[in-house]
Chains A and B, each alone.
Chain A
Amino acid sequence: SLSFKMERKTIDLDQGWDYMQTGITKLKRILEGLPEPQFDSEQYMMLYTTIYNMCTQKPPHDYSQQLYDKYREAFEEYIHSTVLPALREKHDEYMLRELVKRWSNHKVMVRWLSRFFYYLDRYFIARRSLPPLNEVGLTCFRDLVYNELHSKVKDAVIALVDKEREGEQIDRALLKNVLDIYVEIGMGQMERYEEDFESFMLLDSASYYSRKASSWIQEDSCPDYMLKSEECLKKERERVAHYLHSSSEPKLVEKVQHELLVVYANQLLEKEHSGCRALLRDDKVDDLSRMYRLYHKIVKGLEPVANIFKQHVTAEGNALVQQAEDTATNHAANTASVQEQVLIRKVIELHDKYMVYVVECFQNHTLFHKALKEAFEIFCNKTVAGSSSAELLATFCDNILKKGGSEKLSDEAIEDTLEKVVKLLAYISDKDLFAEFYRKKLARRLLFDRSANDDHERSILTKLKQQCGGQFTSKMEGMVTDLTLARENQNSFEEYLGNNPAANPGIDLTVTVLTTGFWPSYKSFDINLPAEMVKCVEVFKGFYETKTKHRKLTWIYSLGTCHLNGKFDTKPIELVVSTYQAAVLLLFNTTDKLSYTDILTQLNLSHEDLVRLLHSLSCARYKILLKEPSTKTVSQSDSFEFNSKFTDRMRRIKIPLPPVDERKKVVEDVDKDRRYAIDAAIVRIMKSRKVLGHQQLVSECVEQLSRMFKPDIKAIKKRMEDLITRDYLERDKENPNMFRYLA
C-alpha cells in the first residue's frame, strides 16, 4: 500500500516575505491606477496560505511577530515613498482631492492586506493583546499622513467654507469626504474631528459672522437684518447637512446666533425706526413672527422682546385712558359718560388685537401672555374723570343689560361682549368695587323693570361666577331669585286681599320683599307718608305676618314707584313718579299752595332730598308744580302750587328723579367691607400661625385678599394696630417685628 505524508515544506521568512511582496506590489500598482489585473482567487489563496503557514510552523520558524511588524512596515514604506510626496507637492483644493484619493486607497490597501494577513488577527493579536490589523493600518495613516497634514487641510477646508459663504460654488462632496477622514481617523472617538477641525471652524465662523453683523447692524433695518439672519442660519444648517458632521449643528448654530442675534440684540430690537417698537406700532405681523422665531431658541432671548411688547401695549392703553380723560374734562357730563363707554369698547378691542399677537406672532408663549396681562393691569386700574375702572366697567355692563341699551346688537354679539368684559375684570384689582357697583345697578334694573333680557342677566352672572368664584356672585344671584319669589309673594298677597275685603287699602299695591343681605344697603327715611299709603303699609304688614312671624320689614320708600292720575284742565294724564314725588304731589290734594317750609315740615325730609324732589317737579321738563319765583333752582323761600294748566301730548309720562350719586356711598361701603375683610384675614392667619413676622403677615394678608382687591399696606398696618388695641394681637416682647395671637 501507498502511504504518503503530506509534508509541508518550511517557509523561510525572507522567502515568504518576498512572495508576499509580490502581492503587495501588485496591490500598489492597482491603487496607483497602473495597468494591473485584479487579484484572482488563487492568488488570494496563495497569499493567505503563505501567511498561514508561516504562522503555524514550529519554532523557530513561527514568524507571527515578524510578520506583524512587516505588515505595518509595508504601509509605512508605501506612505513614505509614494503617498506623502504626492500630498506634499499639492495645495489647497488639489491637496484635498489628493488626500481623499490617498485615504480611499489606503483603506483599500488595509482591507486587502488584512485579508492576506488575516491569520494574525485570529490568534496572534489576542494572545499578545496587540492592536488588530485594521487598527494598525489606520494608525499608520494617522501617524504619518494625518498628523502632518491635518492643520493644512483644515485651513484649506475653512477657506472653502468661507468662499461658499460669500456666494461661490464649491465642491461639497469633496469637503464631505475630507471631513469624513477626520471622523474616521478618530477610530470611534470624535476627538480628532472636534479638536483638529471643528473648534477652528467654529472660531472662524464666529469671526466671519461677527464681521458681517457689525456692518449689517449699521446698514440694515431690523426686518432686513432679521431676514439675513434667518437666511444665514438656514444656510449653515444646510452646510451641516451637506458636509459637516451632524454633531456640529448645535454648536455652529449657537455661534451664528450669538454673533448675529445675541451680541447685537439690544441694537437690533431698539432700532429707532424699524425696531421692535416700530414693528408693533406698524402692525408688522410677519416681521414680529420672525423676531419670535429667531429669539425663541436663544436663552432668555425673548425677554427683551416681551418687555418691549408690554411697554407698547401699556402705552397704547394709557393713550386710550388719557384720551377719555381729556374728552371728559373738555366736555359736558353726559358726553363724558359716553366717552367712558367708548373707552371700555376700545380697551376690549385693544385686548382682542394684542391677544391675536400673543397667540399668532408669539405662538402662545407664556412670556407674552404675562406681558399682556401686566400691561393691562397697569392701565386698567387708572381712574378716568373721577370714575374708577371698576365703576366704568360696571356702567358698561349696565348699558348693555338695560332696556334701550344695546337693542341693536344681536344676542351673539351681546354674549360675546359680556364674555370680553368679564375677561377684562381679571385685570382690575378692585374687584370688590366692581361687584358693589354692579350690584347697585343690577338692583336698579331689577326693581324698576329695566332689565332687557333675563338670559343675558343670568349669563353674565355665570361668567362672573366662573371667573371670580361663587362668593362673588352669590348676592347677585340672591337678588335675581328674590324677584322671582316676590312675584309669587305678590300673588299670595292678592289672594289674601281677595279673601279679606275689609283689609283692602283701595289702591293697587305691589310689594317687593327683598332679602337684606343680598341687596345693596339703602337709606330709608322716616318720611311722613300720605294717609292712603300708610294704610297700604299696614295692610301688607298684616298679610306678611300671616306668612312669617320672625322677620322684620323695613320699608325703602326711595325705591318705590307710584302711578298718579293728574286731573289737569286739558286732559287727565297719568304720572309715573317715585313714592317720594307722589308724597309731595298728594299734599296738593288738600292745599292749593304750599311753601317750601310747609312741605319740609309735613313730609319730614332732609333739605337735600326735598330740593331734589321739588326740582324734578317744578324746574325740569315737566312742570307739574308751579314755583314762585320761577327761578331755575329751588330755594328755601319758594312756594309751590299745583299746575292745573299742565298738559302733554302723551297720556302717561314718567317724571324721572335724577339719581343720587351713588359713587360716594359705594366707595364708603366697599372701604368698610375691606376693613372687615382685612381684620378677618389677619385674625385667620394669626390664629393658625400663632406667631408671625410683620412682613410675612402683611404678604400673606395681601395674598389672601388679592382675589377681591389690592389692600393698601397702610390699611393693613392700621387694622393690625386696631387688633392690638382690642387685644387680639400683641407684639413679641423680644422682637417688635413679630406678632403673637392672643387666644
Chain B
Amino acid sequence: MPRTASKTTKKRSKPYTVTSSDTDPVPSASSKTKKSSKENDEKYKLFNKYANTSSGVIDPEGIEKLCSKLKVSHTDIKILMLAWKMKSERQGYFTKAEWRRALKALKVDTTKKLKKALPELEEQVRKPLNFADFYAYAFRYCLTDERQNCIDIETICQLLDMVLGSTFRDQVDHFVDYLKIQNDYKVITMDQWMGFYRFCNEISFPDMTNYSLELAWPLILDNFFEWMREKQA
C-alpha cells in the first residue's frame, strides 16, 4: 500500500556543527596574520610530531602515540574532550586546523603543557552547559559517514560507559545491561541518546518514582523502565 505522506528522504543538515560554548579568551577577529609566527611554528612542530607525513593529518596511529605521551588511554574521555575542544570532525583523525584550534584555546604548545591542561579541560567540559553540548558531540563523533544517523548498540554501550560512567555509574550499568538483552532496537538514534542524558539528570535512580510512561520519553526508555520495574518486583 503506498504511503500517503510521501516525502523524499530529507537531506541531513550538516551533522558536525558543534556549538562549543567555549571561545578563545582573545576575540578571534584577529586573523592568523597577527599571530606571531613563532607560536604557530611551535604548534605546527608539535603537530608534525604526531602527524602522518603523507596524509598531513594525525591518524589513529598518531593519536595512540599522543595518548602514550600524555599518559592517558586512547579510550579516556579526556581525548574525546580534546576532540570536542578542537571541533574534530572525523573520529580517529585530527587535522592541522583542528589541532591548532585546540591548542590555541588551551594556550598550550608542548605535549607537557597539554598534559597539564587536560584535567582543567575536563573540569570545564563537565560544567552542565558544556557537558550537554559535549554529550551530543560524542554521538555525532561516532557516526562513521554522512548518511548515517544512528550507532550500533555495542558502540553505544562503550560510549555511554566512557562519557557518563563516572557521573551516572548506576544508570549506565543498568541501561547497558538492558541494551544488551533487548531485541527491539539494533541501533540508537540521537533522540534516544539525548533522552538518556535527560533521564540521568531528571529521574531519581534506581527508584524512578518520578518517571512517567505518559510523557514523551523515548520508547526505549519506557521499555527500560518497565524492565527495571520487573526486576525490582
Task: Give the interface segment out of A10-18, A364-372, A671-679.
Answer: A671-679
Decide yes or no whether B49 CB sits under 8 A from chain A. no
Interface window among A176-184, A571-579, A720-728: A720-728
B216 & A673 in contact (Cβ 8 Å cutoff): no
B149 at the interface (CB under 8 A from A): yes
Considering the complex, which residues of chain B in the window 62-96 have a beta carbon less than 8 Å from any beta carbon of chain A? Answer: none
- Total cross-chain contacts (CB, 8 A): 49
Q: Which of B1, B5, B192, B198 contacts A721 (CB 8 A)?
A: B192
Task: State A736–B195 Cα separation when bound (angstroms).
Answer: 9
User: Which residues in B have their C-beta under 8 angstroms from that of A728?
Assistant: 7
Is the Cβ of A724 less than 8 Å from the Cβ of B191? Answer: yes
Is B9's beta carbon under 8 Å from chain A?
yes
Which residues from A are CB-within-8-Å of B122? none
Contact A731 B219 (CB under 8 A): no
Residue of A nearest to B10 (CB): A727
- B161 interface hit (Cβ, 8 Å): no
**A706-743 interface with B by 8 A CB criterion:** 714, 717-718, 721, 724-728, 731, 736-739
Contact across chains for B219 and A725 when beta carbons are under 8 A apart: no
Residues of A within 8 Å of B150, CB to CB, are 725
Question: Does B133 lie at the interface of the complex (its beta carbon under 8 Å from any beta carbon of A)?
Answer: no
Docked-complex contact B1 and A727, CB < 8 angstroms: no
A260 → B minimal CB distance (Å): 44
Complex contact A694–B215 (CB within 8 A): yes
Do the beta carbons of B214 and A679 come within 8 Å of each other?
Answer: no
Asked if A695 is at the interface of the complex by the 8 Å CB criterion, the answer is yes
Question: Contact string, A372-413, partner B, CB cutoff 8 A, digits 1/0?
Answer: 000000000000000000000000000000000000000000
Q: Is A701 an interface residue (CB 8 A)?
A: no
Complex-state Cα separation, A172 to B99, whole angstroms: 111
Judge if A319 is at the interface, Cβ distance under 8 Å: no
Residues in chain B near residue A683, CB distance under 8 A: 5
Interface of B is mostly: loop
Asked if B60 is at the interface (CB within 8 A of a chain A CB), the reply is no
Is B189 within 8 A of A726, CB to CB? no
Q: Check A725 against B4 for contact (C-beta < 8 Å).
A: no
Given contacts A724-B189, A724-B191, contact A718 B5 (CB under 8 A): no
Determine the chain A residues whose CB is within 8 A of the CB of B222 once the complex forms: 714, 717
Knowing A721-B192, A725-B149, A725-B150 touch, does A739 contact B216 (C-beta < 8 A)? yes
Q: Is A680 engaged at the interface, CB distance under 8 Å to the other chain? A: yes
Is B3 an interface residue, CB under 8 A from the partner? yes
In the complex, A738 Cα to B215 Cα: how many Å? 10
Q: Within 8 Å CB of B9, what residues of A?
A: 726
Is B38's CB within 8 Å of the partner chain A? no
The reply to whether B216 and A731 form a contact with Cβ atoms under 8 Å apart is: yes
**In the assembled complex, which residues on chain A have CB atoms less than 8 Å from the CB atom of B10?**
726-727
Write the nearest CB–CB distance from B94 to chain A, whole angstroms: 30
Nearest-neighbor residue (CB-CB) of B219 within chain A:
A717
CB distance from A256 to the nearest CB of B (A): 47
A689 to chain B, nearest CB (A): 15
Given the complex, which residues of A lie within 8 Å of B192, measured CB to CB? 721
> Per-residue 0/1 for B155-197: is the Cβ within 8 Å of any A Cβ (1 yes, 0 no)?
0000000000000000000000000000000000101100100
Q: Which of B3, B12, B215 contacts A737 (CB 8 A)?
A: B215
Interface size class of A (residues with CB under 8 A): 20 to 34
Q: Is the CB of A736 within 8 A of B219?
A: no
Complex-state Cα separation, A725 to B185, whole angstroms: 14
Cβ of A676 and Cβ of B3 under 8 Å apart? yes
A695 (CB) vs chain B CBs: closest residue: B214
Closest B residue, CB atoms, query A687: B5
Partner of B3, one of A679, A684, A724, A736: A679
Contact among B3, B7, B149, B191 with A731 in the assembled complex (CB-CB below 8 Å):
B191
Chain A min CB distance to B185 (Å): 10
Chain A residue, CB-CB nearest to B215: A737
* Interface of chain A residues 643 through 699 with chain B (CB within 8 A): 672-673, 676, 679-680, 683-684, 694-695
Nearest-CB residue, chain A, relative to B13: A727
Return the CB mask of B8-20 against A: 1 if under 8 Å, else 0: 0110100000000
CB distance from B55 to the nearest CB of A (A): 33
Tell me which of A672, A680, A695, A725 contacts B191 (CB under 8 A). A725
Shortest beta-carbon distance from B143 to chain A in Å: 13
Closest Cβ of chain A: how far from B78's Cβ, in Å?
A: 29
Q: Is the CB of A736 within 8 A of B198?
A: yes
Q: Which of A672, A728, A731 has the most CB of B within 10 A?
A: A731
A673: B residues at CB distance < 8 A: 1
- Give the distance in Å from the alpha carbon of A721 to the alpha carbon of B198 in the complex: 16
**Roughly how many angstroms separate A737 CA and B215 CA in the complex, as a whole number?**
7
Residue of B nearest to A715 (CB): B219
Given A725-B149, A725-B191, A680 and B12 contact (CB-CB distance below 8 Å): no
Chain B residue with the shortest CB-CB distance to A521:
B1
Judging by beta carbons under 8 Å apart, are A718 and B3 in contact? Answer: no
Residues in A neighbouring B214, C-beta threshold 8 A: 695
> A683 to B6, alpha carbons, bound, how many Å?
11
Contact flags B186-221 to A (C-beta < 8 A → 1, else 0):
000101100100100000000000000011101100
CA gap between A683 and B150 in the complex, in Å: 22
Tell me the minimal C-beta distance from B35 to chain A in angstroms: 36
List, in ascending order, chain B residues with CB within 8 A of A727's CB.
10, 12
Cα distance A717–B150 in the bound complex, in angstroms: 18
* Docked complex Cα distance between A714 and B192 (Å): 15
Which chain B residues numbered 1 to 52 have a C-beta less than 8 Å away from chain A? 1, 3-5, 7, 9-10, 12
Q: Which residue of A lies closest to B184 (CB)?
A: A718
Cross-chain pairs A/B with CB under 8 angstroms, 17 sampled? A680-B3, A683-B5, A714-B222, A717-B216, A717-B218, A718-B219, A721-B191, A721-B218, A724-B189, A724-B191, A725-B150, A725-B189, A725-B191, A726-B7, A727-B10, A736-B195, A739-B216
Interface residue ranges, B against A (CB under 8 Å): 1, 3-5, 7, 9-10, 12, 149-150, 189, 191-192, 195, 198, 214-216, 218-219, 222
Closest 6 CB pairs of A and B: A694-B216, A727-B10, A737-B216, A717-B219, A683-B5, A680-B4
Beyond the given pairs A679-B5, A737-B215, A737-B216, 9 more chain A to chain B contacts, judged by CB atoms under 8 angstroms and listed by A's residue number, are A694-B215, A717-B219, A721-B192, A724-B189, A724-B191, A725-B150, A726-B10, A727-B10, A739-B216
